[in-house]
Structure 1
Amino acid sequence: MKLRTHYWLLAFCIVFPVAVFCSIALDMLLSSQRAQSMNHIEESARSAALEIDAEVRRAQSVLRTLANSHALASGDMRRFYAEAGAANAGEGGWIILYDGEGQQLINTRLPFGADLPRRPDVDVLRKQLASGAGVVSAVKWGPSLKRQFVAVEQPITTATGARHVIAQAFAPEYFTRTFSGRAIPASWPIWVIDGNGALIARRDKGDGKTGHPVPAAVLAAVRAAPAGALRHEAPDGTEVYAYFVHSGLSDWAVIVGAPVSEVDARVLEGMSVAIIGFLIAIVGAVSLGVHTGRRLVRFVSGASNAARGLGGEAAVVGLRHSNIGEMEALNEAIREADARLRREMASRTRAERERNELLERERAARETAEQQNAAKDEFLAMLGHELRNPLAAITSAVAVLDHASVPGMPAEAGTRAREVLRRQTSHLGSLVDDLLEVNRALMGKLALNCQPLDLADALRCCLETLHAGGRLAAHGLEVAAASAPVLADATRLAQVIDNILDNAIKYSPPATLIRVAVARDGDAAVLTVRDEGMGIAADLLPHVFKVFVQGKQSLQRVQGGLGIGLTLVRRLVEMHGGTIVIASAGANQGTTVTVRLPLNVAGEAGAGNAGKGDLTAAPDNAAGADFTTVVAVAAGTDGGIHAGKAETAAGEAATGNAVVGAVRDVAPSAWWR
């Protein structure tokens, strides 16, 4: 069940009992208002009855006074007539004096001396004289009067002993005028009836006449009790709440009524404020409840949505501000929980990221260690292989020299053996020099002797050396070299170029083309070497500058080398303030090496070496050594073949420089362009 349903049930449980009790209260109030109205009717009826009794009592008092009149006792009827006229009740009333036989002696309604009639009910008069008690008559008809009237009659005896009945007669309108000045609403009917139920006087909208009987139900109710309330239908058809009261001096009864519609209207008018207030309270309570319920539902919905978003990347939103302290405290609790949860999640995320980074570094370190270990093993295997071949040749040459004195040994065998020893020891020295060079480069112990020179001239010298050694015999060569002055160490620059060209030759199949170019690019001199060789695998390309790294080779190790050349090359280029980049499209796609060195604008004159000097070389085979000797003789040197790197390194140990074998001062040949 939803919160809204619970809220409506709660509102119903609150409003329904309130509505029931308010209805009961309104009914009680209605009854109270009706009772108050009935009390007003009762008071009006009793007040009217008192008025009637006061008139009767006044009339009796007047009659007693007149009974003691001297004029009456002396028989002076004219003077008594005057006294009676003065004591009369007023308009609608008159005084009659009867003798013992019912003959009117005076009648103030008529002039004195007029012919007066005799009353028809002489028996009633005689009974009064016999009893000596006065009466208040019922409605009776006056033949000479031609109308209904009532009378208050009192038997008297004069001083002379004459017995008379004196009466105060009243016309019906007399009592009607009596009620007109009282605080009884004009719309309320007032009836005065005699003991027979005939109307004496009335004030209403009906057309009933004096003497006519009232409804039987009304008469029965009046005769049943001295006073009481009843509801009946008036002659004009109006429903009336009525109250009757019997007169204390006669058998008359006064009935005062109020229209039911008027009483109910007055009751409802009195209750209208309460009803309107109740309705306003109910509507206000329901409206407030609906409004509060909607706000509560929206608040709870917002809190629920915010709770679902706890710990998200962004802070919780959608929390509605509430003026209710407990609800706003819930908002604050949700915000604090979200902040703590996000901090905890951020901490966990950070810890997880750090853990992953540690795992990744550990994995990378392990892979690096494994690679380095494999590289170390491969390097040791390569080193063993590279050392075993010259040592085997040296061992064989020593054996030949040991048997040089043996009869039958050719004389040239000793010479050949010495050549092998010389060549192989030079090769061993070259290997050791390479190791020492890399070690010094990595430790930052290399020193440069930079001088202005032309990168194109340095390239030309290196190519001439390779041609002299026969290294380019199996490959095509395309050279495009423009003058590019740089400030560099000639020996180290030659070492860089030789190593790059050596790799291009070593890893390119025969009959492939090697393109070499020197050019200017802005403020840099650029050396580019492209080959069509075996290329570099994509997984190996990022590691080519690492020490001891080589591509996969067969057990025969046709290319040879220790895998330390490019490491030394990059270090030397960086020491010159340059950069080196190696690119390859993949296996068997060739390789491009690009070296960029700062351009030396001040050295435009060039730095070519035109003088002659000793030729230092490290030939790889006998043919190369022989060819080098021929070239050296032709160049006019002393024709000596030095030990190369081993001796030069020993000679330059004090300065920390090692000389890589290079051919110098060779005249340009026809292949250069």
Structure 2
Amino acid sequence: MKLRTHYWLLAFCIVLPIAVFFSIALDMLLTSQREVAMRHIEESARSARQELDAEIRRAQSVLRALAYSQSLDSADYARFYREALAANAGLGAWIILYDENGQQLVNTRVAYGDPLPQRPDTTVVKDMISTGKGLVTSVKWGPALKQHFVAVEQPIATASGRHLVLSQAFTPSYFTRTYAGRVIPESWPVWVIDGKGTMISRRDAGEAKTGNPVQADVLTAIRAAPSGRLRHTSVEGTEIDGYFVHSALSDWAVVVGAPVAEINASVIRGMSVAVAGFLLAIAAAVGLGVHTGKRLVRFVSNASRAARALGRESAVTVLKKSNIGEMEALNDAIREADARLRQEMDSRAQAERERNELLARERAARTHAEEQNAAKDEFLAMLGHELRNPLGAITSAVAVLDHACLPGMPAEASNRARDVLRRQSAHLRSLVDDLLEVNRALMGKLALNRQRMDLGEAVRSCVDMLQSSGKLKTHHVETSLACVPVMADGTRLAQVIDNILDNAVKYSPPGTRIAIAVRREGDEAVMSVRDEGVGITPDLLPHVFKVFVQGKQTLQRVQGGLGIGLTLVRRLVEMHGGVIAVTSEGANQGATVTVRLPLADAAPKALPVMSGEDAGAWWR
């Protein structure tokens, strides 16, 4: 067999498997990229749904807050008009007050005193008043508006016993703005559809406008499941891949789609480089093979003679003996060059390892920086929310005091306003004190005044104080407090106990049990607090002691707080030479906090060094 024949067989055996596996890899990559695009669509739909639910929830909160307005009790609708105007959601939204017969009493869309019509669906008003349940409406046509609108409605009852209905109305353009800032390509249609299959709003230039029914195949798909993927063809003939998800607070649905051609185009653009490179490589290999095949026989003989002329010998054991004379001669030359090649490969491998190590360090540093930036953003959002609530209450109380001199203003309103000012000012001071305290603790600037004291008595004192304040009246508290002496700063120890007990009360539903125990174990004093509350999920449990870490929640949080309590507690416990641990079986399984301190007569332990992660979290 000639050398040329061997050469072509070798080329065929190499190119064919590469072409087959490259085709398979391209198909897998194409499928994977399409799946990534669909996940992006799904995430965009769920994000838009969350924004929509947040707007509905905010409207419901505003209506419930306005229901307590004193101007409704006194039928001072001019004053209520000003309050409603201040609480309105903004451009494209207005607040309406109806009586039990559906007559509009207040409408912030028009000037106060303008004639107001009676709504045609008075039975809906009567049903809401009789059931006491609010609703989120489907699309309605407003003759006076000359456009469609939707509304979030809530029945209320004044102190005088009069039944009214408050409504927060929105134009479709209002909801379009809720997801305008989302990272959703402009070419992707975003729909909001009510429970009847009517279009509420749509961010594109499609055929379905507000108030028109959606296509039958789309409506069938969104009614069949709470969420899922769908594919349909628009009236313009554009094939759309989309994802729909239903609102948690209404019968509305959000649909986000993307043109199939756009998805395929982005995938093909990514694949074109690989395909072009592969074809270019194959073409170059074939061309080089044809050109080289003609010269290979002559080159082998000349190369072998030139290699032997160098006068160097090397044992190359990996080369097999060939039955082709020219190839065997070439083998001898390759053995001689093998040593140099291996040396060069070793040098390149070392350089590659160093490059990979540097790349890994860079990626780790970038990930750490992104985590720090995310922690900063989350803390600023929490701090802004925690400051906004008391400041809003203080502003309202000041407004009440400003009107205290008006005729008909009861003295109790002024007293309640002053109580609000005192409580919210104390709350703001507590927030600032917590921030300063945890900063001093993490930076190692706290000093302890240790004295011999009874840990059981300290816990009993804190429990008695919480009971006297009424915080424990809705919980079943069980205590088992042994007399255990420790060397501790009384003020800081009380701060540790109060924080742990406050968390147990805050995250435990009324009627549940809280077990508090103090005991001696070896040369340690052990305090444990076990509750039957919301528990801690496994993914959150390893991070509970990090600064600003809390469970998953939105800015409309129930418990509140900045997430710094357990960080301060752990630092104070460590400064006393002790350790703290938190365990939980999972969500709704309760949690146990265990604090271990050295006994007063035990040998002191070395003070733990603050980890870089904890210290870094504070200055972020």
TM-score, scaled to structure 1: 0.44
- Bigger radius of gyration: 1
TM-score, scaled to structure 2: 0.48
